Structure 1
Amino acid sequence: MQTFGTRGDVHPFLALGIGLRRRGHEVSVATSTDFKAMVELAGLEFREIPGKAADHFSDPDVIRSIRKSASSLRTALVMKRPTTEEFAHSVERMQEAAEGADFVLTSMICRGYGFAGATAPWGTVNWWPMTPTREFRAYKTPDLPLGAAYTRFTHAMSAQLEWAVHRPAVNKVRTRQGLPPLKKSPMGTLGVEHPVLYPYSPAFLPPPADWPARAHVTGYWVWERPEQEPPARLADFLDSGSRPLVLALGSAWPVYGEQTFHAVRDAVRHAGRRLVVVGGPEGTASDDVFRVQEVDYGWLFPKAAAVIHGAAFGTTADTLRAGVPHVTVPCWADGPYWAARLAGIGVAPAPVPFQRMTAERLRQAVAAVLDDPRPAERATLIGERVRAERGVDTACDVIETAVAAAV
């Protein structure tokens, strides 16, 4: 398995790797050295892909860009990106890491491995839908009332943009290895010749009826780690009154800043409720606010009246599994996409985009999720479905079928 990026890009692969190992397979995970200890803690073999883990939120230019706009394209223009030669070198190291494999599963950023001339059967993972369909438009494309033909066209447009990112490095590697450069995008082979796995819940976003047979919505990949003893003071806080709300903004805290904490705290106080804050800048607590730097979401979230978050993939999954309602304050990347979906299925009020966040909008969102019983009822139902899914086992079935078909 090959993945690169942030902790959220690696963690689901480890859950899947543990599931494959339990079925008797030998599993290696190729990623940056930042995650070597995490891979080995999961009992899997580590193989290196050169480069550092993505740390977008330590870059002041990235923070300033996101605070102005949720546009991923705008932010990408200010991010520090590898040169074509550096990207090509990484693809070659991916090829070395995959030597001897019966099957290779790549993350989004590692798909260059397959396009550059993979010698082993391979498939890929995507965190949001990328397979063409007429049922909904592609991620981050304009919402225009132009019918099903336009909807499907958005997927072709999105695929071309992704291929444009991979093409220079992929063709450089292919040329070095005596292979002809690819003139036509290979993106159309994904889900048709090569399986695509979507590790989110079909109860959250069902697969469209017109997807090809090799596009699979598996359910979430959850690493069931041994339960850790929660902080005693936090447990006491939870037991000392009604269910609090939880504010969890993950690695994006540098974008949101302390001003977001104050705005959320005031909105929660206005509703007469308490607040648990996970992570973020150091700050003072109070009788109605408990701050903790790190805690097991699987333990904490089910004890919340609602979770306030940025709708990032991992936190969205944890909140759905907990079966509690959401208040979303998306700031960039896939946050706006998932926030809209959460509102669409009735487990959250309308999103409060970070760039347009006001005290009044936050108060209204918090009040909506607390005063209306429907989001909590809907969240309970969705949570039961999500917890009943066999995401890792389903993904293992897909991979084993792909290996058997290639023999």
Structure 2
Amino acid sequence: MKVSLQTFGTRGDVHPFVALGIGMRGRGHDVSVATSVDFKPMVEEAGLEFREIPGNSADYFAAPAVIKAIRKSPSSIRTAMAMERPTMDEVTNSLEKMQEAAEGADFLLTSLIPRGAGYAGPGLPWGTVSWWPITETREFRAYKTPDLPLGPAYTKLTHTLSAQMEWAWQRPAVNKLRARQGLAPVKKSPVGRLGVEQPILYPYSPAFMPPPADWPAHAHVTGYWVRERPDQEPPAGLADFIDAGTKPLVLALGSAWPVYGEETFALVRDAVRHAGRRLIVVGGPEGTGSDDVFRVQEVDYGWLFPKVAAVIHGASFGTTADVLRAGVPHVTVPCWADGPYWADRIAELGLSAPPVPFQKMTAEKLRQAVDTVIGDPGVAQRAAAIGERVRADRGVETACDVIESWGDRAL
């Protein structure tokens, strides 16, 4: 079977698709990964075929206007307004390139932004991936909707409204592309049919976010898609630093470092020192270390996180997955997008102190959060317990099973 995987965004949007592609290739399938050229080396290093989606997705946080917007508010809408927006023709052309990237495939799987290529009608079985729940349910509200005490009917309505908002954003380019191809416009929102007519895959752990009982049959919570890298060697000196005393903490802010800045590092360093611990800093601005701070640009999280006392992070999807798998406590400092959503879930399960939103971060709040996760053995016990369950998931294998079952329909 030939499979086209399409994703667009930061490294955290691409890495899971690469892990899935490796899994599909291991089952004997031909796999291509379509994304921006920024991630061509990652795709090809994994032995997968690269196909390009136009645009630069790696540097969301390079624009001063975007950094300024996020520092004011975690609102994705505010951030989107600060970004340089493509014209309608450019968006339509991108969707057309996405469809072209799927030519010859038996199945297409997309993330959020390439989902429009599926809505436009790729002419083959297709499904999609969401990093947070978008399937309608009465059990919990849609992502980033008001918490109002109006009962299950309101809860379900939030998903309907959220789906309409996504379709309002996708519809103009989708129907412009269909018009180019001589097809009738899609009038009714297709978002609600995901999980019914097409599979939707949620690549997070059911131990962390169980699927609601009222979800349709084709909405799948698979477990995280992880690429195991046992061949990765840690940076020189890091293992010795870890072993030199009590377990250190880690500060890992990923691609959002330009938003957080060196000021955040200083606040976190002081909070960790106040707790009598040492700190490992992954990424961020170049800076000197000290006897109690080890700075490194890159390291395998799968190797590092299980060896530390806690991880301080922005609660992005990918880093959250790595900390959950490690089975260690979290200190969350969310700054935008889905960070606040996952930070709230982490706290709800008792795996962290209350979140410290970046826009409201103070030295005192960070000290309290660090002291809580270091001083409360219950946090570590709960983190270790859920870590065992998350590691037991067969995320990539489950996703491969789903894709194979749908791809067989075209063979």
Same structural fold, with TM-score higher than 0.5 when normalized by the shorter chain: yes
Match for 1:104 among 101, 108, 133?
A: 108
* Counterpart AA for 2:344: A
Match for 2:405 among 395, 401, 406?
A: 401
* Counterpart AA for 1:379: A
Q: Give me the CA root mean square deviation.
A: 1.0
Rounded Cα–Cα distance in structure 1 between residues aligned with 2:55 and 2:278: 42
Which residue of the partner structure matches residue 362 of structure 1? 366
Q: What does the per-residue CA deviation read over 1:2-59, in whole Å, with 9 as the maximum and x for residues that have no partner?
A: 1111111111111111111111111111112221121111111111211222412101
Alignment of 1:207-356 (within 5 A): 207-356=211-360
SS in structure 2 of the partner of residue 251 of structure 1:
helix
Shift of 1:281: 1.2
Q: Is contact 2:332–2:355 with CA below 8 Å preserved after alignment?
A: yes
Identity of matched residues, %: 76
Q: Are 1:390 and 2:380 counterparts?
A: no
Q: Are 1:126 and 2:114 counterparts?
A: no
Shift of 1:404: 2.5
Shifted more, 229-238 versus 344-353: the winner is 229-238
Match for 1:82 among 86, 108, 111?
A: 86
Shift of 1:254: 0.8
Rounded Cα–Cα distance in structure 2 between residues aligned with 1:394 and 1:402: 13
Shift of 1:233: 1.4
Which residue of the partner structure matches residue 71 of structure 2? 67
Q: Is contact 2:10–2:60 with CA below 8 Å preserved after alignment?
A: no
Which residue of the partner structure matches residue 20 of structure 1? 24
Could you state the TM-score of these two structures normalised by the residue count of structure 1? 0.98
* Counterpart AA for 2:249: L
Rounded Cα–Cα distance in structure 1 between residues aligned with 2:407 and 2:239: 47
Match for 1:7 among 11, 14, 21?
A: 11
Shift of 1:137: 0.4
Segments of structure 1 that go 5 or more residues without pairing to the other structure are none
Shift of 1:225: 2.4
Shift of 1:232: 2.6
Match for 1:181 among 182, 185, 188?
A: 185
Alignment of 1:26-37 (within 5 A): 26-37=30-41
Rounded Cα–Cα distance in structure 1 between residues aligned with 2:286 and 2:30: 42
Shift of 1:194: 0.2
Shift of 1:309: 0.3
Rounded Cα–Cα distance in structure 1 between residues aligned with 2:258 and 2:50: 30
Which residue of the partner structure matches residue 152 of structure 1? 156
Rounded Cα–Cα distance in structure 1 between residues aligned with 2:110 and 2:137: 22
Q: Is contact 2:314–2:333 with CA below 8 Å preserved after alignment?
A: yes
* Counterpart AA for 2:132: W
Segments of structure 2 that go 5 or more residues without pairing to the other structure are none
Rounded Cα–Cα distance in structure 1 between residues aligned with 2:40 and 2:270: 41
Alignment of 1:367-382 (within 5 A): 367-382=371-386
Could you state the TM-score of these two structures normalised by the residue count of structure 2? 0.97
Q: What does the per-residue CA deviation read over 1:72-124, in whole Å, with 9 as the maximum and x for residues that have no partner?
A: 11111111122111111011111111111111101110011111122010000
* Counterpart AA for 1:332: W
Match for 1:91 among 80, 83, 95?
A: 95
Moved over 3 A (4+): none
Equivalences, count: 407
Rounded Cα–Cα distance in structure 1 between residues aligned with 2:361 and 2:32: 43
Alignment of 1:186-197 (within 5 A): 186-197=190-201
